[in-house]
Structure 1
Amino acid sequence: MPGPIPVPPTVVLVHGAFTDASSWTGVIRLLHAAGLAVRAPANPLRGLAHDAAYIGSVVRQLGTPVVLVGHGYGGAVVTAADADNVVALAYVAAFGLDAGECLLDVTDRFPPMPGADTAFTAALPGRPSAGTDGELYLRGERFAEMYAADLSARAARVLSVRQRPLARSALTAGSGSPAWASKPSWYAVAAADRMLNPTAQRFMAQRMAATESLLDGSHAVPLSRPEAVAAMIGEAAAAVIRSCDHPIGRVR
């Protein structure tokens, strides 16, 4: 006799720094076509503990199993989010931090990327100077080259002018116990990434024993290669209920 039909997982997509949830638009369309429920909440980008608590709260309220996906800095957020209904993790050119580790611990371990000097700190509104509590932006004149080299110039300009800043404090905030230590993980390495060293991405993927895929894309790979990103997420969702009878659409 077949086992009970499980509740299909919801895919929760967490964007990274310098962008917003619209970066998942193409991926969402493909996941919907595969019959998967999707949420793409706004990542506050106010600091790792704050952001992880917010995303964890969103996930816990869903009431379904969740495949939690992070891009870039969003990977650090999903790693630290505390939610028992997360059944799998997926990383897209993302930070998968270990306990006590911060973003700079990872980036400083590998040769600097060409985009290391692309970011600048702006003061928070109403503050006299940037200081340690300022906000990080990417320089507009270098945004396309460093963040989205495989998108059209027009698309990259749009991303640049609507970028959302990351609190500078997020760079040095230590992570807690990593969710990937106890949950199955998938990782899409962006081979042409100029923001997060692809070697660092492979290091994190191998450390978490993730199912790894290599994509020929920039840091903006959710936008430039949505089919490949959606396929990886679809594989993670299918693996969650592979031994059951509930059909999950295949992402093509």
Structure 2
Amino acid sequence: MRQRRIRSVVLSFVMGLVCTLGLVVVGGAGPAAAEVRPTIVLVHGAFADPSGFDDVAQILRDRGYEVVVPVNPLRGPANDSAAIEKVLADISGPIVLVGHSYGGEVISNVNNPSVQALVFISAIATDLNEPAALLLDPIRFPITLLVPPVVLPKVVADPTFPGGTNVDLVITRELFRPIFAADVSEAKAAEMAERQRSFAVAANLELSGAPSWRTTPSWYLVTTEDRVVPASSQRFQAARMGASVREVASSHASFVAQPQATADIILDAVAGTR
């Protein structure tokens, strides 16, 4: 009788210990299993299209990240940031928002509480009531080569503009590679020139809204061989936003020419917001 009672007590103790250890193991595994990776949204700039991010997106997807590459309308920061906000509204969970060139002004005007980090690639990152053109001021930041005859105007249909037409800029095909994409192969640069989306002249002059980079952790990839947004302007912008900075010897088309360097700073931002 006494031996049965002892066995019963021992069995109860062992079962209780097993249950406790099970709870500890399950409890310890819970947070790791529940970790949610951010969706990475890549916003192209002027004279580009979403396909320019193909290699960057593939690197990130191979690392297990969901990547979204929307079309940037290139009409102006207010219109274009609203378009990107509609895309973000359909994404559940945290977001890392990336902008190349004028795409940087667009993401600066996006306000979405799910955005945990901003990444600027060879970008324009405007401040409140600042037009993009001011960050290409040749007196302060010599010197952009994105001027005629490199860029030429054309009249386009534009339902967002009064009268339904607008004046856009395009980069001439023969000058696209030396100015925009000097370190990209000739074949790829020709493809980019063919696929480029034209950019509203008015967008370069529109005053920007309150920048999200004032309240959101930011990263900036400076391209030292840039002939569109001078490296001096890029460094100025990165410094005033307090961004974490990397530099790469690349043209303005760094997101095409240097996809790994571009992906690396995006992954820095992901790691920096965990």
Show the 5 A alignment for 1:151-162. Answer: 151-162=184-195
Which is worse superposed, 100-109 or 86-95?
A: 100-109
Does the CA contact (< 8 Å) of 2:143 and 2:227 recur in 1? no
Structure 2 residue aligned with 1:22, among 47, 51, 61? 51
User: Equivalences for 1:18-167 in 2 at 5 Å?
Assistant: 18-108=47-137, 109-117=140-148, 118-125=150-157, 133-167=166-200
Which AA in structure 2 matches 1:238? A
Aligned counterpart for 1:173 among listed residues 191, 195, 206:
206
Residues 136-169 of structure 1, C-alpha deviations (whole Å, 9 max, x = no match): 1011111110000001111111111221101111
Is contact 1:137–1:166 with CA below 8 Å preserved after alignment?
Answer: yes
Indicate the residue corresponding to 1:129 in structure 2.
none
Out of 227, 234, 249, which is 2:260 matched to? 227
Residue 97 of structure 1 aligns with an amino acid whose one-letter code is T
- Secondary structure, counterpart of 2:75 in structure 1: coil
Between 113-122 and 90-99, report the one with greater CA deviation: 113-122
Which structure shows the higher helix fraction? 2
What is the distance in 1 between the residues matched to 2:64 and 2:195? 31
2:240 is the alignment partner of 1:207: yes
Within 2, Cα distance between the matches of 1:113 and 1:124? Answer: 25
Counterpart amino acid of 1:120? L
Give the Cα–Cα distance (whole angstroms) in 2 for the partners of residues 103 and 112 of structure 1. Answer: 15
Q: TM-score, normalised by structure 2?
A: 0.83
**What amino acid maps onto 2:236 in structure 1?**
F
What letter is aligned with 1:66?
I
Q: 1:166 to 1:115 in 2, by over 3 A?
A: closer
Give yes or no for contact 1:185–1:208 (8 Å, CA) kept in 2.
yes
* CA distance in structure 2 between the partners assigned to 1:178 and 1:46 by the alignment: 18
Superposed CA deviations along residues 26-61 of structure 1, whole A, max 9, x for unmatched, are 101110111111100111112211100010121122
Quote the offset at 1:222 in angstroms.
0.6
Structure 1 length-normalised TM: 0.90
Query: Which segments of 5 or more consecutive residues in structure 1 lack a partner in the other structure?
Result: 127-131, 242-252
Aligned counterparts of 2:117 and 2:35: Cα–Cα separation in 1 = 15
Unpaired segments of 5 or more residues in structure 2? 1-26, 159-164
Q: Aligned residue for 2:39?
A: 10
Q: CA RMSD in A?
A: 1.6
Question: Contact conserved, 1:11 with 1:69, CA < 8 A, in 2?
Answer: yes
CA-CA distance at 1:240 after TM superposition:
1.6
Asked if the contact 1:116–1:195 (Cα under 8 Å) also holds between the matched residues in 2, the reply is no
Distance 2:215 2:38 in 1: 18
Aligned partners of 1:99 and 1:177 also within 8 Å? yes
- Answer whether contact 1:53 1:82 (CA < 8 A) is retained: no
